[in-house]
A = this chain, B = another copy of it.
Amino acid sequence: MVIQRPASLAKSVASVLRERLKNRYVNGGRLPSEPEIASELGVSRGTVRQALTILEREGTVFRRQGSGTYANQYVLRIPARAESAYEFTELISQAGYQASIQVVAIETTCMPDEALELMSLPPAAEALIVRKLFLADGKPAIYCTDMLPRSIILAEYASSELHQPIFEFLERRCGQTISHCVAEIIPEVVDETLAHLLDMAPGRPLLRFDEIGFNGSNQPVLFSRVYYRDQYVRFSILRKKM
């Protein structure tokens, strides 16, 4: 009988292998066999197989019929994958800049209508709205508006806590962990307001993500609108037949 392994073990094995593949390129890119990986990491072959399935689906490795599993150098080389939920400061550092954060505004107001619907909230629900700029070498690179329902805030907080990444605030003061996000990808043109905020000429292109953050029970707990300057952050994405 096969003992059911928690999916999280396979995820951990996938993480270990992913980091190894990022850091060195073994044996012409060919991974060791499943039994070899299993015995080295002290897990079952079934777990290794699940981990390799994770890595294959995300494109980190590919399988050649009858020849084995290989690192995908094209995918490993991508600086920013759109499928991956990075911290903004991490994105900026990875691109080779010094990252810093500037809080533009913090307000408590009504949740915007579009977010109400997306988050299945009642009409006129209150929201805590935090607007931040993320700077690359002191220049605006990302402008983010986080909107979270007041109803999920469980504890008192100091406004200084909102200067930290919103994920930390959600964990500490709302007991919520974002497990995944669904983002709409929207091309935009810089208007007067964005020009001023992002120090760009009006009429320039800009990438916008409208993003819903979900907790582990798949309940929406955060709505974010994020603008990325292509000059600093350009995402790539792996696409395949589903």
Q: Which residues of chain A have a CB within 8 Å of any CB of chain B?
A: 2, 4, 7, 10, 15, 18, 34, 44-46, 49-50, 52-54, 56-59, 62-65, 70, 72-75, 78, 81-85, 179-189, 203-208, 211-212, 214, 216-218, 220, 230, 234-242
CB-nearest residue of chain B to A180: B240
If the complex has contacts A2-B45, A7-B53, A74-B212, are A81 and B183 also in contact, measured as CB distance less than 8 A? no
Q: Tell me the bound Cα distance from A54 to B57 in angstroms.
A: 7
Contact A203-B206, Cβ < 8 Å, known A183-B237, A185-B237 = no
For the complex, what is the distance from the CA of A32 to the CA of B117, rounded to whole Å? Answer: 30
- State A117–B203 Cα separation when bound (angstroms): 30
| Other A-B pairs beyond A53-B53, A85-B241, A184-B236, 15, CB < 8 Å | A2-B44, A15-B242, A46-B46, A57-B57, A58-B242, A64-B217, A74-B212, A74-B220, A181-B238, A183-B236, A183-B239, A186-B230, A187-B230, A189-B189, A205-B205
Q: Are A58 and B57 in contact (CB under 8 A)?
A: yes
Which residues of B sit under 8 angstroms from A205, Cβ to Cβ?
186-189, 205-206
Q: Does the CB pair B45–A185 fall under 8 Å?
A: no
Residues of B within 8 A of A84 (CB): 239-242
From A63, A185, A187, residue with most partner B Cβ within 10 Å: A187
Give the CA-CA distance A186 to B64 in the complex, in Å. 32
Q: Is B239 in contact with A18, judged by CB distance below 8 angstroms? A: no
Across the interface, which residues of B come within 8 angstroms of A179, CB to CB? 62, 240
A-B contact pairs, 21 of them (CB 8 A): A2-B44, A7-B56, A53-B54, A58-B242, A62-B218, A64-B216, A70-B218, A74-B182, A74-B220, A75-B182, A83-B237, A83-B240, A85-B239, A183-B236, A183-B237, A185-B234, A186-B205, A186-B207, A186-B234, A187-B188, A203-B203
Closest B residue to A87 by beta carbon equals B241
Distance to closest chain B CB from A241 (angstroms): 5
List residues of chain B with CB within 8 A of the CB of A10: 53
- Give the distance to chain B from A34, nearest Cβ to Cβ, in Å: 7
Whether the pair B203, A239 counts as a contact (CB closer than 8 A) is no
Residue from B75, B186, B217, B239 in contact with A83 in the complex, judged by beta carbons closer than 8 Å: B239
